[in-house]
A = this chain, B = another copy of it.
Amino acid sequence: METEKKIKKTFVQGAISPEFIGTSIAKHQSKTAIGAHNIFLGQVRADVIEGKKVVAIKYSAYEEMAELKFYEIREAAFAKYEVTCLHIYHSIGTVKTGEICLFVFVSAPKRKVVYEALHFLVEEIKASVPIFGKEILEDDSYTWKTNS
């Protein structure tokens, strides 16, 4: 089985575009051992905080440590699950409501493993990668987001 383990940069500046996701899917059409893909997308919600609507999240990170964590999470997933390939992209900088800030993409010959691997990756990313989110409110004030 073909695997892809090279270290890649995970952070992308600003929102992740739907076209980027489409292109990423298209690149997998030459990998004919794949039977199932599972994709998770995080999208910035227009939550209302103390009466004010969130208009964007500005992401920052402890970048060196975060890239190391992403690498460890990726390696752990390859060790745990028989996946053909997996990809993680996370925004840094400003992402407006309705835009995509996280794109996790898992592919394997059969479907069972893609559910499990995707769930593992997303939960690990949320729990252990030092990324911080400043929720920008409609009056230009802000609050700091925390994952639940």
Contact = CB atoms under 8 A, between A and B. Distances in A.
B37 A38 contact: no
A34 interface: yes
Contacts of A18: 22-23, 25-26, 29
A33 interface: yes
A22 to B, nearest CB: 3
Interface in A11-54: 18-19, 21-23, 25-26, 28-46
Q: What range describes how many residues of A lie at the interface?
A: 35 or more
Given A22-B18, A26-B18, A30-B98, A119 B109 contact: no
A91 interface: no
A-B interface, 7 closest residue pairs, ranked by CB to CB distance from nearest: A22-B22, A32-B46, A18-B26, A37-B41, A29-B98, A39-B39, A18-B25
